Amino acid sequence: MTEPTLYVVATPIGNLRDMVPRAVEVLQTVDVIAAEDTRHSARLLEHFQVTTRLLAYHDHSDEQQVEYLAGLLQSGQSLALISDAGTPLVSDPGYRLVNRVRQLGIRVVPIPGACALIAALSASGLPSDRFAFEGFLPAKSGQRCNRLQPLAAEERTLIFYEAPHRIAASLADMAAVFGAGREAVLARELTKTFETIAGGSLVELQQFVEADANQRKGEMVVIVRGKVRAAERTLDAEAERVMSILLRQLSVKQASELGAEITGLKKKALYQWALEQRQ
């Protein structure tokens, strides 16, 4: 590596076998690795037999540390930036450093790999052609609802990260702002032993995590279906009559499946209509 380069390196979000070979090679050959938590990253580097010098760079690093790392690059060294897990800069530190390095005209190279929001979205079954990543919501309910309110009319799929001790309260606030019947998916502990991907309405997911303490542990991704346009959720009179009858005796999922067989309409459209009737 002759040209000074900042490598933005993704690391596993759980399963170490998800580490790409190119990432290991880069970490082994750069001059310095800047890590969010050096103690945490030391275990990862030991596993892959990486002995490269390790320095700290995190959200609380001051401008002096940014300039120090940029100075290493200006002196001809190569640097790898990693976070605790996943892709750096995605709800992780790194923006200020990457921005500064680019201002200096120094090469920045991404080394792709694991990213929790993309992994969760790919397995959610929710629309993935257009989505918005909102990161972590505020810790307090009032501030959280204020952040959610402008998103209630958003038609893109919404993706959030959440802490385990706040997941039930966040789902409750989402249900209050978006509507209890809004379709959502909770992806928990992705790539790890107790990986869980659960779908349903927001109120159903809230009840799910409240009923099982194990579902309030680990790393959380919440994916919420965007607001469905009126034209997409309108059913003809006969389909509404059939679904109304089915919903008297069946769950939303069962009614949607049977309704699709009876009417020939798409199950997802019937499911969304049924959810809205239950709000």
pLDDT at 74 over 80: yes
Fold agreement (5-114, 117-224): no
**Residues 54, 74: Cα–Cα separation, whole Å:** 18
What tokens appear for 36 in the block?
């969010």
Where do the structural domains in the chain lie, given as residue ranges?
A: 5-114, 117-224, 230-278
pLDDT confidence bin for 266, thresholds 50/70/90: confident
pLDDT digits (tens, 9 = 90+) for 56-69: 998 788 889 999 99
Alpha-helical (H) ranges within the chain are 21-29, 38-47, 63-74, 95-103, 116-124, 141-148, 167-178, 202-211, 230-233, 237-247, 252-263, 267-278
Residue 207: the pLDDT is 95
Closest CA to 36 of 78, 73, 71, 85: 85
What tokens appear for 69 in the block?
């790392």
Residues 6+ apart with CB under 8 A from 74: 4, 104, 106
5-114: CATH class = alpha beta
Q: Tell me how crowded residue 150 is: count the other CB atoms within 10 A of its CB.
A: 9
117-224: CATH class = alpha beta
203 vs 1, 11, 219, CA distance in Å?
Answer: 53, 34, 20
pLDDT digits (tens, 9 = 90+) for 125-164: 999 999 999 999 999 999 999 999 999 999 999 999 999 9
